[in-house]
Amino acid sequence: MKAKIEFTLNGKNVSVELEESKKLLWVLRTHFNLTGTKYGCGEGYCGACTVLINNSATRSCATTIGEVAGKNVITIEGLAQGEKLHPVQQAFADHDALQCGYCTPGMIMNAVGLLNDQPNPSREDIILGMEDNLCRCGAHNRILDAIEAAANEMQNGK
C-alpha cells in the first residue's frame, strides 16, 4: 500500500508516495538521487549509510521511509552551508582522514550525530561513538584526530 509521506530533507519540505516499508537508503539514492549515502552491508553493521534523523545519527538501510514521516532528515549533501563546509567535513579534509572515501559520508554523518549528543567528547567517547562505523582502508587514527579537532573548533566557535 502506497502512502503519502512528508518530511524535511536537507532543509526542504518533500513529499513522496511510496510503500511505507521502503528503506530510506534506497529512497534517498533512487527517488532523490542523493548518492552520497552509501550501501555497504544492508543490515546496519557498517555505517556507510548513516544520515541524521532529527539530528541523531541513524542507519538509513535499517530505517523505513514510513518512519521518517514528519521528521528532519539530513544527508551528506545537506551538511555544508552553501560553500562553507561543516566543521567535521573540513576537519576530515584537513586531516587527510580518508582514502577510498566510500565510508566517508557515513563517518562524517555519524560524527556529526555524535557531536550533537556530546559536544565535548573525550577520545574514548569518540572511539565508542564511532565503533560501529567500518573503514577498510585503515584511516581510523586520522578520523579520530579529525573529529577531535572539529569538536574543539565547534566549541571555540560558539
Partner 1 sequence: MDKAKNIQDYIEGHTPSNTIKRRNFIQLLGGGIYVFFHAGAALKLMAADGDQRQLPDDFNAFLRIHENGKVSCYTGKIEMGQGANTGLAMMLADELDVAYENVEMVMGDTDLCPWDMGTFGSLTTRMFGPSMLAAAAEARQVLLELAAEKLGTEVDKLEVTEGVVFNRQNKGEAVTYAQLTNGQRIERVAKKDATVKDYSKYKIMGKLKFRADSMEKVTGKAKYSGDMRLPGMLYARLLRPPSHGAKLISVNTSEAEKIDGVQIVKDGDLVAALHEDPEMAEKARGLFRAKFEKADKPVNNDNIFDYLKERAPEGNVNINEGDLSKGEELATSVFNTEFHDGYVAHSPMEPHTAMAYFDGDKMTVWAGTQTPFPAQSNIARILGMEAEKVRVKPPYLGGGFGGKSAHGQAVEAGKLAKLTGKPIMVDWTREEEFFYDNFRPAAVLKVNSGIDDAGKITFWDYHVYYAGDRGSETLYDVPHQKRTVYGRGWRAPGIHPFDTGAWRGPGNSTNTFARETQVDIMAAKAGIDPVEFRLKNLKDQRAIDVLEAVAEMADWKPGKSPSGRGFGVAIGSDAGTYVAHIAKVDVNKETGEVKVLKVWVAQEMGFCVNPQGATIQMEGCINMGLGYSLKEVIEFEGGKVKTKNFDTYEIPRFSWIPEIETKILQRNTPPQGGGEPAIVCMGAVIGNAIYDQTGARLLEMAMTPDKVLQALKNV
Binding site for partner 1 (CB under 8 A): 22-23, 26, 29-30, 33-43, 45-46, 48, 75-77, 79-80, 85, 89-90, 92-94, 96, 98-105, 108, 126-128, 130-144
**Cα dihedral value 77, 74, 121, 117, nearest 10:** 170
Radius of gyration of the chain (CA): 15
DSSP state of 38: P
CA 142/CA 122 separation, integer angstroms: 15
Q: Which is nearer to partner 1, 55 or 136 (CB)?
A: 136
Q: Which is nearer to partner 1, 37 or 58 (CB)?
A: 37
Q: Which is nearer to partner 1, 7 or 139 (CB)?
A: 139
Cβ at position 59, least distance to partner 1 in Å:
12
Q: Which three cell numbers stand for residue 60?
A: 538509513
Q: Which is nearer to partner 1, 7 or 79 (CB)?
A: 79
Cβ at position 134, least distance to partner 1 in Å:
6
On the CB side of 44, CA atoms within 13 Å amount to: 9
Cβ at position 86, least distance to partner 1 in Å:
9
Cβ at position 75, least distance to partner 1 in Å:
7
Instruction: Pinpoint the alpha helices (H) of the chain.
Output: 24-26, 87-94, 104-117, 123-130, 140-157
